[in-house]
Amino acid sequence: MNKEQLLQLNTEKRTKCLVYTRVMGYHRPVESFNTGKKGEHRQREHFNEKYCG
């Protein structure tokens, strides 16, 4: 089963997910960002604890 079929089967179970990120010392929802800030957020490298140390 591919991803599209799986999404079609479970449409009624899906809910909106708000993603928050820390900006200038406080947390903000990504959906409230302007176009440029959203693009910058997509290009960020996310912290992965497994590779630290």
pTM of the full predicted structure? 0.50
| Residue 53 included in any domain | no
Domain count, the chain: 1
Q: Which of 40, 14, 18 is nearest to 31 (CA)?
A: 18
List the chain pLDDT tens, one digit each, 53 residues: 788 888 788 788 888 889 898 877 889 898 888 999 889 888 988 777 776 65
User: Which residues constitute the domain of residue 20?
Assistant: 16-45
| Residue 6 included in any domain | no
User: By the 8 A CB rule, do 30 and 21 touch?
Assistant: yes
| Residue 33 included in any domain | yes
The phi, psi pair for 48, rounded to 5°, reads -130, 105
